[in-house]
Structure 1
């Protein structure tokens, strides 16, 4: 579920592949990917162009299902592979941290206590070249409904920044 090239200008750090994505071997090859591509304002061809967009998950395999959805990414993946991979992505101009696990990995102690807290500070993170996003999963419809500012304020900036770096 990894897609990367030394020339990638946009880095998407995601959580871990879901069951369907794991089965196809194509990152975001599901309804979450459809929503994410819409948020970014890109089509499938551009999204899957590794020369421009890198997709690096926190977990590299489907972690299994739990009571409330997929389990968290396996804890050994990111510490094993990110230090080897990330330095090779020298052209990245914008990093998108998608979901709470990616935000924990990318933002570390600079993330908020909750996803909403992290998201509300998106301007501060963007100033450092990182933009946190909620996971585009249909499970997050309630969060999106409670936070209409996301679509009104953040999505236009996201689309503009993605167009700029690509």
Structure 2
């Protein structure tokens, strides 16, 4: 199995699973679409570092989700442009916290001691959580990602450098002697 010191979440990242190392430290099994990698960081550190990589802080992402009404253990948008949304199955600081990528959760079934999560590419993970709790987390992450998409899409433009209309070209912004602007 491949081992690394660093890891940045990408679209093919499906799950972050905590793993006890022989020395007692906590590492992470990163489950990707076609492989599993052992990373010498905790799942939370990978989430935090990935947020930072994409230009935001984990704290900022969490505060944003809370401001949108997702108060307890909110889903986290790692990168809205790439559609990467993860949700924790318990408090993010808990040693056994599992993080799942919402876009990869295809189905789930109840088992005797938890839930069997069916991910993309036929991968299955058994997780020790109540089915109703899991359903609620999946549904609220779907709602959160839908709300984020709606908020972002209303501000998307057709593109930079598009043709200027006659009305726009007729009016020119000019600087006056005080350093403020007026329309000519």
What range describes the TM-score normalised by the shorter chain of this pair? under 0.3
Compare CA radii of gyration and give the structure with the larger one.
2
RCO higher in 1 or 2 (8 Å CA, sep ≥ 6)? 1
- TM score, norm. by length of structure 1: 0.27
Which structure has more helix as a fraction of its residues? 1
Which structure has more strand as a fraction of its residues? 2
- TM score, norm. by length of structure 2: 0.25
